[in-house]
Amino acid sequence: MSKVLVTGGCGYIGSHMIVDLLQKGYDLISVDNYSNSFEKTYAAIEKICGRTVEYEALDLCDKAATLAFFKNHPEITSVIHFAAHKSVPESVLDPLAYYENNIQSMTNVLSAVSFSNIKQFVFSSSCSVYGNPTSLPVIEESPIKPASPYAFSKHVGEQMIMDYVKQYQNCQFHLLRYFNPAGNHASALIGELPRKVYLNLVPVITRTAIGKLAPMKVFGDDFNTRDGSCIRDYVHVMDITKAHLLSLQYMIEGKEQKGYDVFNLGTGNGITTLEAIHSFEKVSGKKLAFNIAERRAGDVECIYANNDKAKKVFGWEPMYSLDDIMKSAWDWELKQVESE
């Protein structure tokens, strides 16, 4: 029986991915080292789906343990690889930790793929590999100019896959470059719940509004944008997971003719930080307290996607609006208060 491996399955996107896979009838196993997540997330997934989640604790930076895991699970035929450190500001402060974790874990997983039964591999990449783009919207062929250690680690991961395909040719890869995943599952049973400090804009907004954080900082009001704040392409996490399902199925059905391909996952709409705040205020009915602060190192001024390729190749179509993102994020935050 074939099985899908989800790495980083207790993380933000990984947990939503497991829900989608289970609800579509896939057999899967998940691994996580819980460095920035919680094992209890699996119980929440099981509550949503009414199915048991098979999982193991595993640090993918441990090569011996990683190789042993793959040898013990020859039934795995597909991998969706989320496990990685993912913060731009944190990577600027501690670049070596990002290189060690993201690149070493990728090396170990690919080493395991080289001798395993894996035929399809979906890699969680990032639009940050484009850096500050010279033209917008960004297409998959836009120049690669990573502006942070996090972005560079994703670029290295992509290059490793490209080099792997040239040598081994036993597996097909899709490299999915996310723009800014946000929002949470409609049940409010799973959501963005890191162990470390909250750094992504949407959960910072909701935690500020609920009173768990002091007035939030808008980093920069002097960018060359509509209102001076930086522009990002916010895409609902469930739209992201749907793209993974379509990508995986495309390869399973034998439609992919190349060893690897690259796809942007974004809505195609650039939203400023202040516009995102206003969307939250409209949806929640709450006025948000925030201050303007200096720009952060590694921050990109403006980026949003051209997503034509994902639409054309495997029929992906983002369904959720910015207001939908904010509502699901606020529902999740309110649910956390209820459970405390």
Token pair for 319: 């369904």
Task: Examine the residue annotation and report whether 150 is marked as an active-site residue of this protein.
Answer: yes
Considering the domain boundaries, does residue 91 fall inside one? Answer: yes
Work out the percent of the chain whose per-residue pLDDT is above 70.
99
Residue 98 lies in domain: 3-184+234-266
Torsion (CA) 210, 200, 23, 340 in degrees, nearest 10: -30
Rounded CA separation 198/178 (Å): 19
Task: Give the count of domains, the chain.
Answer: 1
The overall average pLDDT reported for the chain is 96
Tens digits of residue pLDDT in 52-95 = 999 999 999 999 999 999 999 999 999 999 999 999 889 999 99
Q: Is residue 153 part of a domain?
A: yes
CB burial string 274-307: b at 16+ within 10 A, e below: bbbbbbbeebbeeeeebeeeeeeebbbebbbbbb
pLDDT exceeds cutoff 80 at 339: no
- Strand 120-126 vs strand 271-272: parallel, antiparallel, or unpaired? unpaired
Question: Within a domain: residue 282?
Answer: no
| 55, 150, 164, 320: the active-site residue | 150
pLDDT over 80 at 1, yes or no: no
Q: What is residue 89's predicted lDDT score, i.e. its pLDDT?
A: 87
Overall pTM > 0.85: yes
> Across the chain, which distance is largest between two alpha carbons, in Å?
56
Give a yes or no: residue 288 inside a domain. Answer: no
Q: Is residue 67 part of a domain?
A: yes
Query: How many CB atoms sit inside 10 A of residue 56's CB?
Result: 13
What was the pLDDT predicted at 195?
83
Task: Calculate mean pLDDT across residues 202-214.
Answer: 94
Distance of CA 333 to the CA centre of its chain: 20
Q: What is the mean pLDDT of residues 278-306?
A: 94
Which pLDDT tens digit goes with each residue over 161-199? 999 999 998 999 999 999 999 999 999 999 998 887 777
List, edge to edge, every strand of the sheet that includes 3-7: 54-57, 28-32, 3-7, 76-81, 120-126, 172-178, 260-265
pLDDT for 250 beyond 90 = yes
Residue 329 belongs to some domain of the structure: no
**For the segment 85-109, what is each residue's pLDDT rounded down to a tens digit?**
999 889 999 999 999 999 999 999 9
Cα–Cα distance, 42 to 64 (Å, whole number):
25
Q: Which residue has the higher pLDDT, 262 or 1?
A: 262
Q: Does residue 64 form part of some domain? A: yes
pLDDT at residue 273 greater than cutoff 80: yes
Q: Indicate which CATH number applies to the domain containing 172.
A: 3.40.50.720
Q: Is residue 138 part of a domain?
A: yes
Model confidence pLDDT, tens digit, residues 297-313 = 878 899 999 999 999 99
> Residue 340 has what pLDDT?
67
pLDDT at 15: 98
Give the 3-state secondary structure of residue 102.
helix
* pLDDT tens digits along 134-162: 899 999 999 999 999 999 999 999 999 99
